[in-house]
């Protein structure tokens, strides 16, 4: 394939990426976090029991279980945060009915299998996984569960012992079902708890899968957070971002001339690809996430400046424009990769060891840096190559060269 054909093919690929990014952004949109869109703010307080006191270890277990339950509910960018000795703050973006959420995240959720006398035969610890589905003669919503190997053996022995008798299944003190054992059961089973919908069954499946809280928790505060403050923050962030981009564009245009104009256009392409990527990944944007977004835009500008400075150095050494572009990009690759990889490593560490909005900042920054590397190495290179034969790049003032004609 000839050089010209390769160049056209690469440009078509860039246009396709731009259109696909716009499609993702337009079709999926960007989810907004609790601080921008509003939602539910819930404070839970752990209550000691006769068997267990409140300790740091107990609170860690409660926080982890609540976080897993929230994740299983499909709520992105939720805030799970310890407060004091015995409280957990739960922030749920876009949830305008906290009472429904509390039924799932705040329930102790001890699953027990009991005989007719009320004796506990087996607990939910024997269940490996559970998920909602349809079952029974009328295909009603049920919770299908799979037992652990030890749980399977135990349940087989229980159902063999109680063949022809009732075994009730309780979630806390609520009786879900009280069926007659008609056959020996091993491996898996289902719970038909008169669920009105498969979503209701899924809520119990989440509780069963993620395990019971070590101690009960009570709701001490539950309120709906309005989006007013978030709208003001978004407007100010957009204004600050556009003003910053305008200043950067003007600086690039004055200092680098036509290449500076190309850099401003590439920056807009970078922004569209980044928004499309965030939308495609279903990311949720928070105020710290916006900070990460703006920081990554700054790093994208830095990458273009490094490239232009390397090309300028090569031009000063007397090389032709095409040779300077080749050598400039090769020299810039190492610097850009070194700088960005350290940032990505930092973002990964932050994302792994933190939660909530801090993790959102880290994820947004990491994605932004990766996208900026793609636009610097692929988009910028091919756009510069497109104009390499024109006077716009061959002029003496291009790339900030002074005194050349």
Confidence band, pLDDT 50/70/90 cuts, at residue 140: confident
Residue pair 104/69 in contact by the 8 Å Cβ criterion: yes
For residues 84 and 50, state if they share a domain.
Answer: yes
For residues 161 and 252, state if they share a domain.
Answer: no
| 232 Cβ neighbours under 8 A, 6+ residues apart | none
Task: Answer yes or no: is 352 within a domain.
Answer: yes
Task: Answer yes or no: is 368 within a domain.
Answer: yes
Show which of 159, 176, 210 is a domain's final residue.
210
SS3 211: coil
- Interior angle at CA 403, CA 400 and CA 405, nearest 5: 90
For residues 284 and 389, state if they share a domain.
Answer: yes
For residues 239 and 374, state if they share a domain.
Answer: yes
For residues 298 and 334, state if they share a domain.
Answer: yes
For residues 284 and 232, state if they share a domain.
Answer: yes
pLDDT at 370: 92
pLDDT at 297: 84
Q: Give me the torsion for CA of 28, 30, 32, 37, rounded to 10°.
A: -70
Question: Helix 56-72 to helix 198-210 angle, to the nearest 10 degrees?
Answer: 150
**227: pLDDT strictly greater than 70:** no
Long-range (24+ apart) CB contacts under 8 A made by 99-102 are 99/222, 101/40, 101/42, 101/73, 102/42, 102/219, 102/222
The sign of the torsion formed by the CA atoms of 269, 271, 272, 274 equals positive
| CATH code of 268's domain | 1.20.1640.10
* pLDDT (mean) for 195-201: 81
Residue with tokens 């928070």: 286
pLDDT tens readout for residues 22-79: 999 888 888 777 777 778 888 889 888 887 888 888 888 888 888 877 877 766 667 7
pLDDT at 405: 46
Q: How far, in whole angstroms, is CA 289 from its chain's centroid?
A: 11
Task: Answer yes or no: is 405 within a domain.
Answer: no
Residue pair 62/213 in contact by the 8 Å Cβ criterion: yes
For residues 25 and 53, state if they share a domain.
Answer: no
What's the CA gap between 248 and 250, in Å, rounded? 5
The domain tally of the chain equals 3
| CATH code of 138's domain | 3.30.1360.200
Of 66-70, 223-227, 256-260, 314-318, least confident by mean pLDDT is 223-227
Of 64-68, 69-73, 156-160, 251-255, least confident by mean pLDDT is 69-73
- In the chain, pLDDT over 70 holds for what percent of residues? 94
Rg (CA), the chain: 29
Instruction: Name the residue among 105, 113, 67, 68 with its Cα closest to residue 203.
Output: 105
What's the CA gap between 154 and 333, in Å, rounded? 61
pLDDT at 139: 82
How many other C-beta atoms can be found within 10 angstroms of the C-beta atom of residue 59?
Answer: 20
For residue 208, how many C-alpha atoms fall within 13 Å in the half-sphere facing its CB? 30
pLDDT tens readout for residues 323-351: 888 888 888 888 888 888 988 999 899 88
pLDDT at 115: 87
Range of 373's domain? 1-33+226-399
Task: Answer yes or no: is 129 within a domain.
Answer: yes
């Amino acid at each position: 394939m000839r050089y010209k054909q390769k160049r056209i093919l690469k440009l078509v690929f860039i246009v396709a990426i731009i259109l696909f990014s716009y499609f993702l952004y337009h079709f999926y949109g960007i989810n907004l976090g609790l601080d921008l869109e509003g939602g539910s703010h819930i404070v839970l307080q752990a209550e000691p029991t006769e068997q267990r006191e409140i300790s740091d270890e107990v609170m860690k277990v409660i926080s982890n279980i609540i976080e897993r339950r929230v994740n299983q509910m499909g709520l992105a960018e939720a805030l799970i945060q310890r407060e004091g000795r015995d409280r957990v703050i739960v922030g749920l973006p876009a949830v305008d009915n906290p009472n429904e959420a509390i039924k799932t995240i705040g329930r102790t959720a001890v699953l027990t299998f009991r005989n007719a006398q009320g004796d506990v035969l087996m607990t939910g610890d024997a269940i490996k996984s559970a998920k909602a589905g349809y079952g029974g003669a009328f295909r009603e919503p049920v919770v299908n569960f799979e037992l652990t190997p030890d749980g399977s053996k135990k349940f087989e022995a229980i159902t063999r012992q109680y063949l022809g008798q009732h075994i009730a299944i309780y979630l806390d003190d609520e009786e879900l079902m009280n069926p007659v054992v008609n056959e020996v059961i091993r491996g898996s089973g289902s719970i038909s708890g008169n669920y009105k919908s498969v979503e209701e069954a899924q809520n119990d499946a989440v509780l069963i899968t993620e395990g019971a809280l070590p101690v009960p928790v009570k709701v001490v505060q539950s309120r709906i957070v309005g989006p007013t403050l978030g709208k003001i923050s978004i407007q100010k962030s957009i204004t600050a971002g556009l003003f910053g981009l305008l200043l950067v564009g003007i600086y690039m245009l004055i200092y680098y001339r036509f290449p500076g104009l190309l850099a401003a256009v590439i920056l807009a392409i970078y922004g569209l690809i980044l928004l499309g990527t965030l939308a495609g990944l279903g990311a949720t944007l928070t105020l710290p996430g916006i900070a990460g977004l703006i920081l990554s835009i700054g790093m994208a500008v830095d990458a273009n400046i490094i490239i232009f400075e390397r090309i300028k150095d090569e031009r000063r050494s007397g090389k032709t424009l095409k040779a300077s572009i080749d050598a400039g990009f090769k020299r810039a690759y190492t610097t850009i990769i070194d700088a960005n990889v350290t940032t990505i490593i930092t973002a990964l560490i932050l994302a792994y060891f933190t939660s909530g909005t801090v993790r959102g900042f880290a994820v947004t920054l990491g994605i932004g840096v990766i996208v900026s590397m793609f636009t610097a190495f692929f988009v910028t290179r091919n756009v510069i190559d497109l104009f390499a034969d024109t006077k716009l790049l061959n002029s003496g003032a291009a790339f900030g060269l002074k005194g050349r004609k």
